[in-house]
Amino acid sequence: MDAMLTPDWKYTETIHKRLRFIKINKQERHLDAQDIDEGASFCLDAELGLDLGKVKLAKVYCATIQVFTAELGGELERHLTEMSMEDAQLRHSLQVIKQSGSTLKKFVLVAVK
């Protein structure tokens, strides 16, 4: 994605959750996880200093997560809307984001124990 179309992420808070990791992509430093207490699934990026080689699938961890938010608007929203014309899943995701106040969220895993 073009640098001009990258969301302006702002740090919001640090949270702690009990997570079970379902999928780990070490190359992209991306994880899919399930929140044990809420049963919800979500995606996280891994902080550069975190050793993903020590994170095991299916094990329950106490995770420290930084939450970032950004507003969907301007050129980014126009670009995603154009892309969604040919992608029903993206179109649905954009509708959900707009219904929830046009706020994007990003989760960054900073520690596990």
Alpha-carbon distance of 76 to 79, in angstroms, equals 5
Above pLDDT 70, what percent of the chain?
Answer: 96
CA atoms 69, 72, 76, 81: torsion sign:
positive
Tens of pLDDT along 48-90?
999 999 999 999 999 999 999 998 888 888 888 888 888 999 8
- Mean per-residue pLDDT, 33-53: 95
- Every domain of the chain and the residues it spans: 3-112
Q: What residues have CB less than 8 Å from 67, skipping those under 6 apart?
A: 11, 12, 13, 14, 15, 105, 106, 107, 108
